[in-house]
Amino acid sequence: MKILVTGGAGFIGSAVVRHIINNTNHSVVNLDKLTYAGNLESLASVSTNERYAFEQVDICDATELKRVFEQHKPNIIMHLAAESHVDRSIDGPGEFMQTNIIGTYNLLEQARAYCANLEVEAKAKFKFHHISTDEVYGDLQHPDDFIGGEGKGEKSESQNLPLFTEDTSYAPSSPYSASKASSDHLVRAWARTYGLPTVVTNCSNNYGPYHFPEKLIPLVILNAVAEKPLPVYGKGNQIRDWLYVEDHAEALVLVATEGKVGETYNIGGHNEKQNIEVVKTICQILDEVKPKAKKYAEQITFVADRPGHDMRYAIDASKIQKELGWQPKETFETGLRKTVLWYLENETWWQNVLSGHYQLERLGSGN
């Protein structure tokens, strides 16, 4: 099987490409524009494999997309290419609308035209897998919202809080999540109107190796070792449901190859943590594996909260577990420890990102 992965040089896309090359017999075409978030060094371990090919293409470029479909003849599309950073979407939403909405529209149109010309057998196997986020659902009630929450009486640990299911209504809060919600709607419309065989996944926050250091976990690890402040938004009580990226990659390949056409699967790690807990746990791991005179937690600095900040995300991942037999291998504790150790052991990768060298190298190699 040949799988076309868009955004394969990004954080999750590169984990998907590595997973396909290392754990399956499928071939991969990695289609990526190489924005600031695309880093071919994350694929160094697989890039010489004969089952791997790279195309530097913008998903907004319909002509180039058509060429790639005709040249590589993929059996499955896994669409991950996106602008993905919420803070950047608040500062400049335009690029998010362009890539996440127009880019997805272009890809759907090319897939539709390509699929229409496939032989019956190939058409029956073809699948367009759209990779999305739980942020499309908006946010959920926070424990502090309940009687028993902060400032409202006694705390109750046993409160049964709601989770996002595949049937939760969409209510995106940020330009990023609104653009992803739009792309999800486009995919479902192309399935219903044109019969394109699609599957959608919505996943919680990922963390792990090769994560761009603008996101919370790598930022905290790298600031901690550089003795810089560890910024925490607001009171740090926002809750995210964390999933180790390699667990997500495994789930995505399973859905792309075995997921039922027309279905949506929520993917999550059952790891609801307040941001402040995440930061403190990273500090504790560092105190243990890279001790210094002062405790790392002393570097924690609270900063003004992000506008419109969602308070709680949490995924009910029982459908994918029941129907496809997937569940995460890592707990938050094992995954976070692996991640901290990976950053300590892979300084060249992140130094090249921080210095911008990873972008210069790509210019030098003609990419």
Nearer Cβ to ligand NAD (20/34): 34
Regarding 314 and contact with ligand NAD (CB under 6 A), the answer is no
Regarding 269 and contact with ligand NAD (CB under 6 A), the answer is no
Residue 180 region, left (φ>0) first, then alpha (ψ -120 to 50), else beta? alpha
Regarding 86 and contact with ligand NAD (CB under 6 A), the answer is no
Q: How far is the CB of 210 from ligand NAD (least distance, A)?
A: 9
- Which one among 3, 13, 164, 316 touches ligand NAD, defined by CB under 6 A? 13
Q: How far is the CB of 353 from ligand NAD (least distance, A)?
A: 11
- Which one among 17, 28, 38, 200 touches ligand NAD, defined by CB under 6 A? 38
Distance separating alpha carbons of residues 174 and 56, to the nearest angstrom:
28
Q: Which stretch binds ligand NAD (CB under 6 A): 129-137, 229-237, 294-302, 333-341?
A: 129-137
CB 237 within 8 A of CB 142: yes
Distance separating alpha carbons of residues 339 and 209, to the nearest angstrom:
6
- Which one among 4, 12, 200, 217 touches ligand NAD, defined by CB under 6 A? 12
Q: How far is the CB of 274 from ligand NAD (least distance, A)?
A: 17
Regarding 9 and contact with ligand NAD (CB under 6 A), the answer is yes
Q: How far is the CB of 45 from ligand NAD (least distance, A)?
A: 17
On the 0-12 / 13-18 / 19+ scale of CB atoms within 10 A, 128 is buried
Structure token pair of residue 190: 């192309």
Regarding 11 and contact with ligand NAD (CB under 6 A), the answer is yes
Q: Which stretch binds ligand NAD (CB under 6 A): 111-119, 198-206, 323-331, 352-360?
A: 198-206
Within the chain, residue ranges assigned H as helices are 11-23, 62-72, 86-91, 94-96, 104-116, 120-125, 175-194, 216-225, 245-258, 275-289, 318-324, 332-345, 347-355, 357-364
Distance separating alpha carbons of residues 126 and 117, to the nearest angstrom:
11
Q: How far is the CB of 115 from ligand NAD (least distance, A)?
A: 20
Q: For residues 316-335, which are near ligand NAD according to CB under 6 A?
A: none
Q: Is the dihedral of CA 56, 58, 59, 63 positive or negative?
A: negative
Name the DSSP letter for residue 298: G
Regarding 131 and contact with ligand NAD (CB under 6 A), the answer is yes
Regarding 127 and contact with ligand NAD (CB under 6 A), the answer is no
Distance separating alpha carbons of residues 64 and 98, to the nearest angstrom:
16
Regarding 358 and contact with ligand NAD (CB under 6 A), the answer is no
- Which one among 28, 37, 68, 181 touches ligand NAD, defined by CB under 6 A? 37
Regarding 34 and contact with ligand NAD (CB under 6 A), the answer is yes
3-class DSSP assignment, residue 347: helix
61 catalytic residue (yes or no): no
Regarding 256 and contact with ligand NAD (CB under 6 A), the answer is no
Number of neighbours of residue 67 by Cβ within 10 angstroms? 14
Q: How far is the CB of 255 from ligand NAD (least distance, A)?
A: 13
272 catalytic residue (yes or no): no
Q: How far is the CB of 212 from ligand NAD (least distance, A)?
A: 6
Regarding 35 and contact with ligand NAD (CB under 6 A), the answer is yes
3-class DSSP assignment, residue 245: helix
Distance separating alpha carbons of residues 338 and 333, to the nearest angstrom:
9
Nearer Cβ to ligand NAD (9/163): 9
Of the residues 32, 55, 134, 310, which is catalytic? 134
Angle between helices 347-355 and 216-225 (to 10 degrees): 100
Distance separating alpha carbons of residues 253 and 245, to the nearest angstrom:
12
* End-to-end CA separation in angstroms for the chain: 26
Position of minimal CB gap to ligand NAD: 10
Q: In sequence order, which residues have a C-beta less than 8 Å from that of residue 162 and are 6 or more positions away? A: 140, 141, 314
Of the residues 105, 114, 137, 176, which is catalytic? 176
176 catalytic residue (yes or no): yes
Catalytic residues: 134-135, 176
Site residues for ligand NAD per CB under 6 A: 6-7, 9-13, 32-35, 37-38, 58-60, 80-84, 99, 103, 131-133, 180, 203, 205-206, 212
